[in-house]
A and B are shown apart, each in its own frame.
Chain A
Amino acid sequence: MTSAPDPNWWDQELVRRFQSGDEDAFDRLVDLHRRDVYRLAYRLLGNHADADDLAQETFLRVYRSLGRFRGESTFRTWVTRIVLNLATDSRREMASRRQCSLEDLTPSQHPVEQEDHAGFLREEIIRKAVGRLPKRQRETLILRIFQQMKFHEIAMVMGCTVGTAKANFFHAIRGLKQRMGG
């Protein structure tokens, strides 16, 4: 019985092929990671148009820099870091573009208790509550809950220790509970 190949090994192999001049290897890498990148972008930015822009821009950056990628982290970690960096710029730009009112994000305006937990309103409140967490807490939460990254992976992406990543996660959860009225 043969076990499934390690995705990290396969990523490394495709990176090596690309660095040897095989352009198709880049297309394969895009195929393998585009959904994860798009989903992460969507969770960070909250809408399709911005998520699409971010996903495209991410792979453009990957293409530019892949020749110099030395494999000190996994390809997935490296791409995730690019997404986070680009998302930070994008959010900053979005914030200056539309100065949204803070009041319309507060849960107090929405009687959560009376709503179905699976309902749209609840979803929207969670999204906005997550969006209002401090940057590193928000990123840690998203990587952990939505991208299902391990804490040591998150630590590599965020450039911090595992302990810091865990602490950020805990503070994110606590902040979220408070914002949700818990």
Chain B
Amino acid sequence: MSKQCIEIQREVAWLLSEGAAGDGAALVSHLKECPRCRRDEEKLRALLGTLGGRDVPEPGEAYWQSFLPRLRNRIGLEQSAGASRRPGSFWLGALAASVASFMLAALVVGRWSTPPEVRVRARFQEMARQSTPDPLPSSQEGSLSRAENLPGSEGDDAQFLTSNMEKVLEETFPEDDSDVFSAASELGKEQRQHLEKTLSLDWV
């Protein structure tokens, strides 16, 4: 089969499929001269006629009447299934409901912004502010006044001199020379038991 024959047959196929007659001058003259292409055209006409004549069996009016309702039914089912399947919708709803109920409960109880430990601490601070401390004895008051005037007692705590601190402590709380432990050991058994009971001093 020549290249021209292939071209002609291709053109014939297109033309016949379009329902047009093969009336191009080159086409007509080739078909006249080439028995092979002419045979091919006849077969093609027959084939296309057969193909085109094949019709799909008509399913009937009842089928067409039910077509849209069935489709609508499927769409409805899909939409309802899609709504319930939407990712996380249930859990998001549950979470939102939990948060809302928690906030409501917190508002009702009135403890939304003040946890218990904060409220207790605030109460103690308030009590401390309201209470007036007992005045110091005059001797200690004087010591403190002097200590305030000592060099290094002002400013940075880290520069407070240790020696000054010891001096102040010595004046404020003079050393007690009494040997408590020795005195306790000298007590009789009955007296020691009485002392223990009175002071709850387990270590005596």
Question: What B residues does A117 contact at CB under 8 A?
Answer: 46, 50
Q: How far does the alpha carbon of A48 sit from the alpha carbon of B62 in the complex, in Å?
A: 14
User: What is the distance, in angstroms, from A35's C-beta to the closest C-beta of chain B?
Assistant: 8
Docked complex: A129-182 residues within 8 A CB-CB of B: 130, 141, 144-146, 151, 166, 169-170, 173-174, 176-177, 180, 182
Partner of B75, one of A51, A52, A60: A60
Question: Which of chain B's residues has its CB closest to A27's CB?
Answer: B68
Given known A-B contacts A34-B67, A63-B75, A42 and B56 have beta carbons under 8 A apart: yes
Whether B14 is near chain A, meaning CB under 8 Å from some CB there, is yes
By the criterion CB–CB under 8 Å, are A30 and B47 in contact? no
Question: Which of chain B's residues has its CB closest to A64's CB?
Answer: B78
Question: Which of chain B's residues has its CB closest to A63's CB?
Answer: B75
By the criterion CB–CB under 8 Å, are B74 and A60 in contact? yes
Docked complex: A35-80 residues within 8 A CB-CB of B: 35, 38-39, 42-43, 48, 51-52, 55-56, 59-60, 63
Question: Which of chain A's residues has its CB closest to B17's CB?
Answer: A144
Whether A118 is near chain B, meaning CB under 8 Å from some CB there, is yes
Could you mark each residue 41-61 of chain B with 1 if its beta carbon is under 8 Å from any beta carbon of chain A, else 0? 001101110111110110100
Partner of A60, one of B14, B43, B56, B71: B71
Question: What B residues does A128 contact at CB under 8 A?
Answer: none
Selecting from A7-15, A82-90, A95-103, A119-127, the interface stretch reads A119-127
Whether A31 is near chain B, meaning CB under 8 Å from some CB there, is yes
Given known A-B contacts A30-B71, A60-B75, A43 and B47 have beta carbons under 8 A apart: no
By the criterion CB–CB under 8 Å, are A34 and B64 in contact? yes
Number of A-B contacts (CB under 8 A): 76
User: What is the distance, in angstroms, from B143's C-beta to the closest C-beta of chain A?
Assistant: 89
Number of interface residues of B (CB under 8 A): 28
Could you mark each residue 11-54 of chain B with 1 if its beta carbon is under 8 Å from any beta carbon of chain A, else 0? 00110010000000000000000000000000110111011111
By the criterion CB–CB under 8 Å, are A145 and B51 in contact? yes
User: What is the distance, in angstroms, from B70's C-beta to the closest C-beta of chain A?
Assistant: 7
By the criterion CB–CB under 8 Å, are B52 and A177 in contact? no
By the criterion CB–CB under 8 Å, are B50 and A166 in contact? no
Question: What A residues does B74 contact at CB under 8 A?
Answer: 56, 60
Question: What B residues does A122 contact at CB under 8 A?
Answer: 50
Question: What B residues does A146 contact at CB under 8 A?
Answer: 51-52, 54
Whether B167 is near chain A, meaning CB under 8 Å from some CB there, is no
Question: What A residues does B53 contact at CB under 8 A?
Answer: 118
Question: Which of chain B's residues has its CB closest to A43's CB?
Answer: B56
Give B residues with C-beta under 8 Å from A. Answer: 9-10, 13-14, 17, 43-44, 46-48, 50-54, 56-57, 59, 63-64, 67-68, 70-72, 74-75, 78
Nearest 3 pairs of A and B residues by beta carbon: A42-B56, A39-B56, A170-B10
Q: 7 A-B contacts, Cβ less than 8 Å apart? A: A34-B68, A63-B71, A63-B75, A117-B46, A126-B54, A170-B13, A177-B44
Give A residues with C-beta under 8 Å from B. Answer: 27, 30-31, 34-35, 38-39, 42-43, 48, 51-52, 55-56, 59-60, 63, 117-118, 122-123, 126-127, 130, 141, 144-146, 151, 166, 169-170, 173-174, 176-177, 180, 182
Further 9 A-B residue pairs, CB within 8 A, beyond A34-B67, A151-B14:
A30-B71, A56-B70, A60-B75, A118-B50, A122-B50, A126-B54, A170-B10, A170-B13, A176-B47
